[in-house]
Amino acid sequence: MKAILHVIEYDFTNFFRFRWFIAALITMNLADLFISAVVFTQMTSLVNYFKFFAPGLAVVGLFASAFMIGREINMEVRREIHHYLLSLPMTRRELAIGRVLAGGLRGMLYMTPLLITNFIVLRFPTPPQLLLILLTLLLLAIGISGVSISIAVSTTSFEKFVTARGVVYYMFFFCSSVFYPLSVIQVLATKGLEPLVAFAQINPLTSGSDLIRSFLLDPNEYVFSPLMILNVAVFSVMFAFLATFAYAKILQRH
Amino acid sequence: MGLKKLWLVIERDLRMFIQYKFLLIMRAIWFVAQVALFGLVVNKLVETAAAEVGISYFHYYVAGVTIITLYSTTMFIGYDIFEEAEHGVFEYLLTLPVSRRELVLGRSIGGGLRSFIYVGPLLVVVLSILGVLNPLHLLVALAALFLFAFGVSGMSITIAVAMKSGDKYDILIGVLDALIVRLSTTMYPQLYMQRAMPAYAAIANFNPLTYAADLFRWGTGVESALQFSPLVGVLGLFIFFFAFTFVGVVFYERRLEGGSWQ
């Protein structure tokens, strides 16, 4: 456990090296909420878009920041810094678990101001609701960190990593209820894009943002279901294991 | 000023652009995702509002995304300037038998031209989606987009030479990108910006992305009535182009002397 904590500390120190970059990302996220969402609110009568998008924004921020760990790991592999990491007095598994957890926890840290903004502009959840939100988002962040690490260790160049990251980003963001309600996404089915609609329904980002909405918006409109947590948990466990396995194995091979 | 030398500088920047192949592929994927996913779904979400202003939001958005793509790919020239400073290529460039002014102007034109070449195939796809009502309007709009691209290139060079660190440039460009795109009519009609927050609409009135996007929509016939006369749009883009190309040239020229980029 102590070794894992050291790895997490290492990744957090790296994270704060990018503090200006993080500040810029938060600015961009807030611009999305306080400019784009405010204007779109005037354009649709289906939902109050500002309120609808606020929880989605927290999930977008969580996703982007939890994904950053992959960029660092890809860089370490390319610059062969992993030799140093492998020389440390800890097992490969501890190192891999530490990296996956650190990626997730960094996502949670980044997302915190966005979640607090949600509480201020929407409403404060009850303590059990807050616990459920945090638990679900933590699981989601760990899963995203797992996806990112899996891609980072299986791509040999930074360009390939960036391209793969882009495809994953757009699939997860646009085929989810982060930006628009699931009911509206059905329009893609009429254009022959049924698989994307199916993906949107099982997308963990859909579960994450809808879970926050069910606690912070009208509960009659956004109904909480335990399946949301189950969906995120399955995603998280699956990709955390995959990333741990891939990271340990691929580092050994290098 | 030798046109041949100017062309050599432009040609070099065009060739340099190919090194961004993965980023360019990424931009293309982003474009497709924006059009085929976000555009289609949001079109459904805002169909009542779009009907109110007499437009198809999907068409409106496709035209806007084209301008965003043109803007963001033109901004790449600033990254080239940082790469060159970091790897000592600046010194090499200064030894070439090309005057400072030819070098700087060539970079500004090259930066705009290469992004126009990149957006060309996307533009063909976009025009096949949007159609063309009046070819003359389209020609005027495309000429205005050239001015826009060269102006953005000059802006990118001005910002790049005004900063000493590539990281700071990256961050500033990210924030600028977030604000300049969102406070323009690339994604939504000005009427709704006015309703949401009059200050947003006021800023959008002076945003070159607004002029470029609205002129492109006018050129393709997506919007028959503009908030401003097309002449005002062209004039706005000309001022933008003139200011940044020449400010960029002067700034870049000054920075080149005495190794102050180091």
> Is residue A47 very low, low, confident or very high in pLDDT (cuts 50, 70, 90)?
confident
Closest A-chain CA to B37: A174
Give me the half-sphere count of Cα atoms (radius 13 Å) on the Cβ side of residue B76. 24
The ipTM assigned to this model is 0.83
| CA A105 to chain CA mean position, Å | 11
> Is residue A249 very low, low, confident or very high in pLDDT (cuts 50, 70, 90)?
confident
| Number of domains comprising chain B | 1
Mean pLDDT of A126-151: 95
* Chain B contact for A189 (CB, 8 A cutoff): no
- Cα distance between residue B90 and residue A106, in whole Å: 38
The answer to whether A210 touches B69, Cβ cutoff 8 Å, is: no
Is A179 within 8 Å of B42 when comparing Cβ atoms? yes
pTM of the model: 0.86
CA distances from B158 to A51, A249, B48, B102, B176 (A): 39, 47, 42, 16, 14
Contacts of B60 in chain A (CB under 8 A): none
Contacts of A193 in chain B (CB under 8 A): 36
Phi and psi based region of residue A20 (left: phi greater than 0; alpha: psi -120 to 50; beta: remaining) = alpha
Contacts of A170 in chain B (CB under 8 A): 29-30, 33, 37
Domain ranges of chain A: 2-253
Percent with pLDDT over 90 in chain A: 47
Closest A-chain CA to B38: A174
> Which residue in B150, B166, B157 sits closest to B114, CA to CA?
B150
* Chain B contact for A188 (CB, 8 A cutoff): yes
- Cα distance between residue A141 and residue A208, in whole Å: 10
Percent with pLDDT over 70 in chain A: 99
Q: Supply the mean pLDDT for chain A.
A: 89
For residue B85, give its domain range: 3-259
For residue A162, the SS3 value is: helix
Is A21 within 8 Å of B167 when comparing Cβ atoms? yes
- Cα distance between residue A166 and residue A111, in whole Å: 20
Is B49 within 8 Å of A42 when comparing Cβ atoms? yes
Mean pLDDT of A119-123: 94
Which of A20, A39, A159 shows the shortest C-beta gap to B171?
A20
Is A28 within 8 Å of B195 when comparing Cβ atoms? no
Q: Quick check: A205 pLDDT over 70? A: yes
Which of A25, A46, A170 shows the shortest C-beta gap to B30?
A170
The answer to whether B227 touches B249, Cβ cutoff 8 Å, is: no
- pLDDT, one tens digit per residue, over A143-192 is 999 999 999 888 877 778 877 888 888 889 989 999 999 888 888 888 88
> Which residue in B141, B118, B143 sits closest to B220, CA to CA?
B141
Contacts of A181 in chain B (CB under 8 A): 45
List average pLDDT for each run of 10 residues in chain B, which is 262 residues long. Answer: 82 82 81 86 83 83 93 86 78 83 84 87 90 88 92 88 76 86 92 91 93 92 75 91 82 70 58
* Chain B contact for A116 (CB, 8 A cutoff): no
Which of A38, A162, A174 shows the shortest C-beta gap to B38?
A174
- Cα distance between residue A103 and residue B44, in whole Å: 36
> Higher model confidence: residue A3 or residue A127?
A127
